[in-house]
Structure 1
Amino acid sequence: MQLDDTDRRILRHLLAEPGMATADLAERAGLTTATCWRRIERLREGGVIKGMRAVIDWRRLGWEVEVSLRFTLDKTHPRAFDEFLAAAREVPEVLEIQTFLGQTDVRLNAIARDMAHWQEIYRERILNLPHIQDTEALMLISAIKDSAELPL
């Protein structure tokens, strides 16, 4: 899909303030509300805008620990990936699952209320995931840059 300067302007404003009303977005982008709405719909239909969602600060809700886990799976089992991913989806504290080519096969991002809760999750849920050959846990200390903004 080809984007023009107006589409980029709309996207920049949506990235900065996703919940902005179409009328306000149109005003900031220098468009009529109807034109802005049509362009947003075209961007949705073209798959550029996949959806809008709330970004929740889990720490403010009492989830103090965030851990990134890297897994190498035992690929001698033909269904290792499928079975691991199916089981990982069932762990409610897992927020994100990514697969990779390379030494790391899968990365999970998980949260816990505190270190005792993390220990429970790790021992009872994470270590029981199937087909783990090797794992590495990286505990988040601080997020320096966390942005979905694009150079539009």
Structure 2
Amino acid sequence: MIDLDDTDRALLRALAQDAGQSAGALARRLGLSQPTAWRRIRRLEAAGVLAGRQLELDAARLGFGVTVFLGIKLAARGRVSLEDFERAITAIPEVQQVHHVLGRYDYRLRVVARDLPDFERVLRRRIMTLPAVGEVEANVLLSEERLPGPIG
């Protein structure tokens, strides 16, 4: 764990809002010099606190108007390995996230589709045909609030 000061936290909050900002822009925003901001960003990257920058696509504007969270309980753990299931499920392009979890379900998936009939097609033809899939629960996303994360 790395010790973070108030300036580090402010940098992280600013990057969480817009990861594409330059060190110069961050420096101006936080009242730092550009080299100081750059060194702090590099230190956070070296410590693993910043583990890359991601491009966030708007699925709805790309024609994927439905997001569904699936809970999947594997049918028989002995027949298909977790690695085989994960390899098969991540090969389905509509599956955006795969989380191996504890609880009622073994996996939680985030799946995008153009509409509900498209989701039904993905579920019936791609997900339910995998040999390890047992019980499935679907929750359709109605709205989403994005929070910056646990940066104090």
Q: Return the TM-score normalized by structure 2.
A: 0.92
Task: Give the AA of the match of 2:150.
Answer: L
Unaligned 5+ runs, structure 2: none
CA-to-aligned-CA distance 1:67-123 (integer Å, 9 cap, x gap): 110011134416432221111011011000001122211011111111221121111
Equivalent residue, structure 2, for 1:46: 47
Q: Per the alignment, do residues 79 and 35 of structure 1 end up closer, same or farther by CA in structure 2, a change over 3 Å counting?
A: same
Counterparts of 1:76 and 1:57 in 2: how far apart (Å)? 36
Aligned length, in residue pairs = 151
CA drift at 1:27 = 1.3
Q: How large is the RMSD of aligned CA atoms in angstroms?
A: 1.4
Unaligned 5+ runs, structure 1: none
Equivalent residue, structure 2, for 1:141: 142
Equivalent residue, structure 2, for 1:10: 11
Task: Give the AA of the match of 2:147.
Answer: S
Q: Per the alignment, do residues 62 and 124 of structure 1 end up closer, same or farther by CA in structure 2, a change over 3 Å counting?
A: same
Q: Return the TM-score normalized by structure 1.
A: 0.92
Q: Per the alignment, do residues 76 and 13 of structure 1 end up closer, same or farther by CA in structure 2, a change over 3 Å counting?
A: closer
State yes or no: 1:87 paired with 2:88.
yes
CA-to-aligned-CA distance 1:48-82 (integer Å, 9 cap, x gap): 00111121110011111111100111344164322
Counterparts of 1:117 and 1:61 in 2: how far apart (Å)? 14
Counterparts of 1:103 and 1:116 in 2: how far apart (Å)? 27
Equivalent residue, structure 2, for 1:37: 38
Equivalent residue, structure 1, for 2:72: 71
Runs of 4+ in 1 over 6 A off after TM superposition: none
* Percent pairwise identity: 36
Alignment of 1:55-70 (within 5 A): 55-70=56-71
Q: Per the alignment, do residues 87 and 81 of structure 1 end up closer, same or farther by CA in structure 2, a change over 3 Å counting?
A: same
**8 Å contact kept, 1:80–1:130:** no
Alignment of 1:112-123 (within 5 A): 112-123=113-124
**8 Å contact kept, 1:70–1:105:** yes
Q: Per the alignment, do residues 149 and 134 of structure 1 end up closer, same or farther by CA in structure 2, a change over 3 Å counting?
A: same
